[in-house]
A and B are shown apart, each in its own frame.
Chain A
Amino acid sequence: GENVEQHPSTLSVQEGDSAVIKCTYSDSASNYFPWYKQELGKGPQLIIDIRSNVGEKKDQRIAVTLNKTAKHFSLHITETQPEDSAVYFCAASINFNKFYFGSGTKLNVKP
Chain B
Amino acid sequence: GAGVSQSPSNKVTEKGKDVELRCDPISGHTALYWYRQSLGQGLEFLIYFQGNSAPDKSGLPSDRFSAERTGGSVSTLTIQRTQQEDSAVYLCASTWGRDTQYFGPGTRLTVL
Q: Which residues of A contact B (CB under 8 A)?
A: 32, 34, 36, 41-46, 49, 89, 96-104
Contact = CB atoms under 8 A, between A and B. Distances in A.
Contacts of A32: 100
Contacts of A103: 41-42
Secondary structure type dominating chain A contacts: strand
Interface string B81-112: 00000000001010101111111111000000
Contact of B33 (A41, A89, A99, A104): A99
Contacts, number: 47
A49 B56 contact: no
A101 B36 CA distance: 12
Contacts of B103: 36, 43-45
Contacts of B56: 98
Contacts of A99: 33, 45, 101
A89 B105 contact: no
Contacts of B97: 96
B106 A34 contact: no
Contacts of B33: 98-99
26 contacts: A34-B100, A34-B101, A36-B103, A42-B106, A43-B4, A43-B91, A43-B103, A43-B104, A44-B43, A44-B91, A44-B103, A46-B100, A46-B101, A49-B100, A89-B43, A96-B98, A96-B99, A97-B50, A98-B48, A99-B33, A101-B43, A101-B45, A102-B42, A103-B42, A104-B41, A104-B42
